[in-house]
Amino acid sequence: MPNNQLTIALSKGRMQDDALELFARAGIVVEESELKSRKLIIHSADQKYAFILVKPGDVPTYVEYGVADAGICGRDVLLESEADVHEPLDLKFGHCRIAVAGKREVIGQDYNLLATVRVATKYTRIASEYFQQKGVPIEVIPLSGSVELAPLIGLSDRIVDLVETGRTLKENGLDVIEIITESTARLVVNRASFHLKRIEVGELIAKLTAVLQ
């Protein structure tokens, strides 16, 4: 691998398309044939960038360890991982909210009247921190998917989850109780690459900044 090539970790799935589209607008183009291949590492047409496609939650890890120089992931993932990386740009796509939700009948209920609130979530760290700051004791129930199911079948009182349109919640008789924070896609950069590939990282930030404005 040429030394001045930048390796960028992308979240697989929907965010991947948005990210590649943003790169294309910034002049960093990945050929259709490259995209259609089932390769896990793909390259931009000019060979200046290598993209690795990984699970969204793993992007901060790849970047923190420096096996990827940079990455694109949601702020939600970043908050949950607490990875020690630079976060130079808000890429303004992938907008969603991290919210506390529950069954309609518990909305407006005072947390302090409950001994402990059971909260099912994929975001155990964000949930713990949020309720800790409010001074509400909670029991976190870590789940890796179908979090909306938890209150329906009595596993938890509340959930903390990503909300985009709120439709999934509504269809399951749930509603947003509080918004914890908003999230959009972020460019993250490894702390060492930031210095060792200063020119290349600077160029990437400049290109993306130009199309974001």
List residues near another protein by CB under 8 A: 3, 64-67, 86-90, 189-196, 198, 201-202, 205, 209
| Continuous H helices in the chain | 14-25, 32-36, 59-64, 75-81, 124-134, 149-152, 167-171, 193-196, 198-212
Distance in Å, CB of 191 to another protein, minimum: 7
Give the separation between CA 211 and CA 25, rounded to whole angstroms: 7
Beta carbon nearer to another protein, 89 or 169: 89
Of 64 and 157, which CB lies nearer to another protein in the complex structure? 64
In the complex with another protein, the residue whose CB is nearer, 63 or 159, is 63
Q: What is the CA radius of gyration of the chain?
A: 20
Closest of 154, 179, 163 to residue 103, by C-alpha: 154
Nearest approach, Cβ of residue 177 and another protein (Å): 26
Of 4 and 165, nearer to another protein (C-beta) is 4
Q: How far is the CB of 195 from another protein (least distance, A)?
A: 4
Quote the least distance from Cβ 164 to another protein, whole Å: 21
CA gap 190, 160 in Å, rounded = 29
